[in-house]
Amino acid sequence: MALTPLDIQQHRFRRRLQGYDPQEVESFLEQAAQALETQQRENFRLTEEVHRLQAETGQYQRREGTFKRVLLHSQKVLDQMKTNAEKQADLIVAEAENKAAKLLQQAQQRLAELQEHIGQLKRQRVQVEVDIAAVLESHRRLLSVGQEEIRANDHQDDKLKVLKQAR
């Protein structure tokens, strides 16, 4: 059975001869009742404080759980972003390599075309040189033939002069 301050205050002891001093007992019981009441109030206050602190602790634990979930989700998002960025970087590098390969292929093709064109120009130059040499040779022959005709004509002119003088 729980003892309350009221139980102590209302409790009456039987009287006997040569018993305790009733006033002293009453005074002690009054002090005990006050002490017990103070202890009960303090106990009640502390119990309320414990309940309040437990409620706060529950809120903090829920917040902590929420923070943990948010941090875990954030980490997953960051990891996914990092993975996506790496994949995108790989794609960009691959695309750049493909473009570089195409440019290199185009440059090599253009070089081959230019070398072929240069070869054609060299062949044309050789042909032009041969043609010019042939024209020069032809003109030289014509000049030789013309000079021979001039000499022959001069020779005939000389003969004519001699004949004219002899006449």
Average predicted confidence (pLDDT) for the chain: 89
- One-letter amino acid identity for 103? L
* More reliable by pLDDT, 6 or 90: 90
Taking the CB of residue 5, how many other CB atoms lie within 10 A of it? 19
* Domain edges within the chain: 22-166
For residue 50, is pLDDT > 60?
yes
- Count CB-CB contacts under 10 A for residue 38: 11
Residue 1 has pLDDT above 60, yes or no: no
Going by C-alpha positions, the residue among 8, 74, 82 that lies closest to residue 39 is 8
